[in-house]
Amino acid sequence: MAKLETVTAPLVIRFSAESEKVIARAFPHPQGVVYLDLFWHLSGPAEAAHLIRGKLHGEGPWRVGDATIRVLGCANTDPGLQEAYIPWRDYLNQHPDEYPPEEQIRDIARRLGCSISESE
């Protein structure tokens, strides 16, 4: 399975049976995992980047603290979550020049303290 920091597919973070949401990206951090909300690039890190403390386990799905991170399923698997994802997908397709390139995203994650090597 893929390393968490290399997954560019939409992800779901589940905090409890009643609380899960679609996120744009997640990266390992020395204290756990940093995840980025959908549309994160339109606001600042204080609003759009979140640290979950705990040891990261797994190769997909991943566990950190009391949370689980997995790849978003199709409309039949995750219909409610697809409703949150579709505007994000449409935005990315309609505004490709407004979203940061992969290396810039990795640089931002590094500045947030995430553990990403230069070669990845």
* DSSP secondary structure code for residue 109 in this structure: H
More confident: 26 or 2? 26
Q: Measured between alpha carbons, how far is 92 from 63 in angstroms, rounded to an integer? A: 27
> What is the C-alpha R_g of the chain?
14
- In three-state form (DSSP H/G/I as H, E/B as E, the rest C), the secondary structure along 78-107 is CHHHHHHHHHHHHHHHHCHHHCCCHHHHHH
* DSSP secondary structure code for residue 31 in this structure: T
Model pLDDT, residue 8:
83
How do residues 55-111 score in pLDDT, each as one tens digit?
999 888 999 999 999 999 876 788 889 999 999 999 999 999 999 999 999 999 999
Mean pLDDT value across the chain: 89
What does pTM read for this prediction?
0.88
Tokens (6 digits) for 98: 């407004």
